[in-house]
Structures are given as C-alpha cells and as structure tokens.
Structure 1
Amino acid sequence: MIVSHRHKLIFVKTLKSAGTSIELELARHCGPDDIVTPIFPGIPGHKPRNWRGWFAPWRGVRRSGDLRKNVLECLRRDRIYNHIPARFARARLPARIWDSYLKVCVERNPWDKTLSHFHMFRNAAWHRHHDPELTLDRYLENRIFCHNAPFYCDTRGKPLVDRVLRYDRLDAELAGLFAEIGVPFEGLPQAKSTLRPDKRPYREVFSPRQTRIIADAFEHEISLHGWEY
C-alpha cells in the first residue's frame, strides 16, 4: 500500500494486477512523511517507511476473526502493510485522510488473473503454495483463487475505493492518474513478469469446463465490473 500525503493518494494493492510495479513507481515520487509498505519478496532499492505503529484493534471489526487479526497485527505494530484490505486501512488511518484522499486500486479480468495466479503457484519458489508439478485442473480443484474484491470492498461487497483501474488498459489509466496528481508517467518496471513463461492468451488455454468454473468462482467481481470472457 502507498499513502502519499504529498499527492493525497491512497493506493490499495490487489493481487496479480501489477501492484508491485505500481508501488515501485509511486514510491519514487513519495516524500519522507508518506507511507510506503514493504514488498515481499524484497526488491533492491525499495525503501519502506512510516508503515509501522500502534492502532486501536477494536476499530474496523466487522466479522468473525477481525478482532483476533487486528490484535495480532497491533502487537506486531503492522499498522499498514503490503496487501492490507481497504476496510482495515480505513479504520487505522485518520478519517480526514481516508475521506479526503483519492483511493485507487487495480482489478483484472478474472480468467486472465486466474491464469497468472496459477503460474505464480507453479513458478514462484518463495510462495507458500509453490508446486512446480501443479496442473491447471488441480489448481482449479484446490479453489485457492485470486479474489481481489475483499481488498477494496467492505464486508457487504461494496467498493470502498474511489476508482478501480482496469488492468487491460492499465498504461492509459495510470497515465491519466499520474497526470491528475502531477507526476510524470514513463511506464512501469517489470517486477514479476518472469513468473508467467507461457504468454498465451487465456482464451487459448482454458477449456469450456475450466472457463465455467472461473466464471462461477468470480461471480461477484464479474457483476461489479462487467467482465466478459
């Protein structure tokens, strides 16, 4: 996550949506008082700052398990972190900041995102689900999907961010965002592009059955954004 007081911007980081690359680029324009969270695995030159601290763990409690999660993170002083859900960030940041800053995230077509997620499981040795022998069918059977809505929605599924950028037109949308906050945009660094060696489009990979499994799993995100296969 990035909280830029300099640009009055909050970037909520989702999964498999160029989040690390966007963080690296935004961090270059952040000031010493801005919040820049650590990236895992670490990337040379990235300098996290101002992300640790105490907070009231009872704030933002909306469902079972929230309080325990908040207490553990408070004890570790993990006030703001890499993939923190927006509803927790809202509870831990001053209301004047959350309410007045532009809050953005990125979302991705669920079929394209699922294929990228599968390749991360197969090829990222640092990932806890790493399995170089994983097949696509077994990945889908495990149902460990890449749901992003919990990162930018409340517990009822309503978005908490002001703007959801589309991954399929990311360069244009980021160029517009950067121009809006007065920052030059020269493209993104390729932070994790090697994790997907098979560059075939998802339509050339999934069978009709696999396509339906993904459509059912991502029904909420598809309804939110109108994604089409």
Structure 2
Amino acid sequence: MRSFDLTPVGRPAMIISHRHSFIFLKPRKVAGTSVEVALAQHCGDDDIVTPITAFDPLWDEEEYDHPGTKQRGYLRHSTLPAVRKRLGQPLWDTYFKFAIVRNPWDLVVSQYYWATRDVDWQPFRATVGGSLRRFWKYPLRVRRNVFALGANVARIFWKLEDVTFDFFVAYMLNYYPPNGRFYFDRSGSVGLDFLIRYENLQSDYASVCERIGLPHSELPSLKTKSRPERNHYTTYYDDRTRELVAKKYRQHIEHFGYHFEEP
C-alpha cells in the first residue's frame, strides 16, 4: 500500500510552433513531457511553449526546466476545442496537429504511482486525525469544501492513510478525468492529424519529426522513477477494477482500439 499525494497527475501543456507549423497537445501520463522537451529545443522566438516548471529532482526532471514562451492565455486553454478557438480556424486547419495516446489500463496504473509517489509530508500525519476512506465516502459537497481550503491543506488529508490500487480505482479515479478533450472535438470525432501511441513512442515520434521537418533524436526518459515496480499493468487488476476503467475510458477504447491484454 502507498500513501497518497494531492499533486496533480501531470499538468496539461502544449506547443504551437509557427516556425515548423505544428501543434502538440500534451495530455496527462502519456510520456508527454519527454516529447515536449524534445520538441521545445527546436522552437523559435515566436512559438508558444507552455512552461515545464516545478520539477521534482526525485523524478529526474530538474535538468529540463524551461519557463515557457509566448504562453499567455494558453495555460488554461490546452484542450483541443479551446486551442482551436483561440488560435483560429485558418491556422488550425493548416498546422499539423498531434498528441499521444496510451492504453487506458496502463495509464491508470501510471496515475496511481504518480499520485502515491513518496512525498515527505510525514510531520502532518501525526497532527491530523480521521480516515481517508471515511473522507472519500463523505458527501461530495463536504469534499469540495475541503478542497476549497487550498491544495496545501487538502494534501494533509490525502496523506492520512495508505492507498491500495483497488481503492484508488474505486474511489479516486473520478477525480482524474480521461484525456478525451485533448483528442476529440465536440462532435466526438478525433480532431488531430496524428496520434503517437505510447506503446510505439520512439518510432511514432520519428514519424512526426519526418512529417514536420525536424531532425530525429532519441527521446529523453523522464518521470520514470515514480513507477518503481515495472510489472505488467494487467497484474494490478481484478475483474471489478478492470471493468471500472473500461467504463470510464470507453470512448478511448472504442476509438483507439485498445483492449485488456493477456498477462
């Protein structure tokens, strides 16, 4: 069992490169930081790059911090419909648009390990009582009031008790929405020109580089230490948790052809 941390499971980000005529949308927990770092080094002064900040050196990212450029107005607009609206239809239609997809069952395991990575909040555990499991069974109104106190206070509650994978899927998964708004337009159709598959990350990234005219390079390996156990994702699931993820990610499974593999 692992303790839980309120730190968001990855921050959505994006790159709009006018120099190379591409738009990269970065969903959560799909190795997006590795691709973002690789692409950002080719961006020009007029390109829009949302910042990679607040890196934790425990998770091998401190060497890749960059402040972002021209990102004003885009930090909250990194989903597909919002970026298209803000950028304008002519540029949206002209630029090469891509993102990364990942098997939902594997993605949820990654979410679990990122959310429960070992952050040192031990001093607070002795000063705050209660039970995490009881807290998550409180009415939604009560939980929202707790969150309204601020992230730092709420993190205290999250660290009260160890969290199993089953508990994470059953009670906490609803607080981590699927990445659909990075892929689908309002009609439910995929609104991008290309999807890098996490399972073929390096080769698909090479295809993107060829398409947008960038030199091909090896992707940096980032955020890999938060999941120390490299067991196949299928080993984490029972029938109940498998179906919970299938229900929540049904749109992704149907559109991208993912399935629960045999161990």
The TM tier, using the shorter chain, reads: 0.7 to 0.9
State the distance in 2 between where 1:226 and 1:212 align.
16
TM (normalized to structure 2)?
A: 0.71
Structure 1 window deviating more from structure 2 (120-129 vs 208-217): it is 120-129
Residues 191 and 82 (structure 1), Cα distance of their counterparts in 2 relative to 1, 3 Å cut: farther
Alignment of 1:1-229 (within 5 A): 1-42=14-55, 43=62, 44-52=64-72, 79-81=73-75, 84-123=78-117, 125=119, 131=159, 133-142=162-171, 143-144=173-174, 145-229=176-260
Residues 224 and 195 (structure 1), Cα distance of their counterparts in 2 relative to 1, 3 Å cut: same
Q: CA deviation at 1:120?
A: 0.9
Q: Residue 196 of structure 2: SS of its match in structure 1?
A: strand
Q: Residue 119 of structure 1: SS of its match in structure 2?
A: helix
Q: CA deviation at 1:133?
A: 2.0
State the distance in 1 between where 2:167 and 2:197 align.
28
> Is contact 2:170-2:241 (8 Å) kept?
no
Q: Deviations over 1:27-66 (max 9, x none)?
A: 00001111110124345542410111xxxxxxxxxxxxxx
Q: CA deviation at 1:182?
A: 1.8
TM (normalized to structure 1)?
A: 0.81
Q: Structure 1: which 5+ runs fail to align?
A: 53-78
Residues 123 and 21 (structure 1), Cα distance of their counterparts in 2 relative to 1, 3 Å cut: same
> Is contact 1:39-1:82 (8 Å) kept?
no
Residues 93 and 188 (structure 1), Cα distance of their counterparts in 2 relative to 1, 3 Å cut: same
Rg comparison, structure with higher value:
2
Matched-pair identity in % = 33
Q: Structure 2: which 5+ runs fail to align?
A: 1-13, 56-61, 121-150
Q: Deviations over 1:111-158 (max 9, x none)?
A: 100100011110164997765722111111223345111222123322
Count of matched residue pairs: 203
State the distance in 1 between where 2:87 and 2:67 align.
21
State the distance in 2 between where 1:37 and 1:16 align.
17
Structure 1 window deviating more from structure 2 (183-192 vs 30-39): it is 183-192
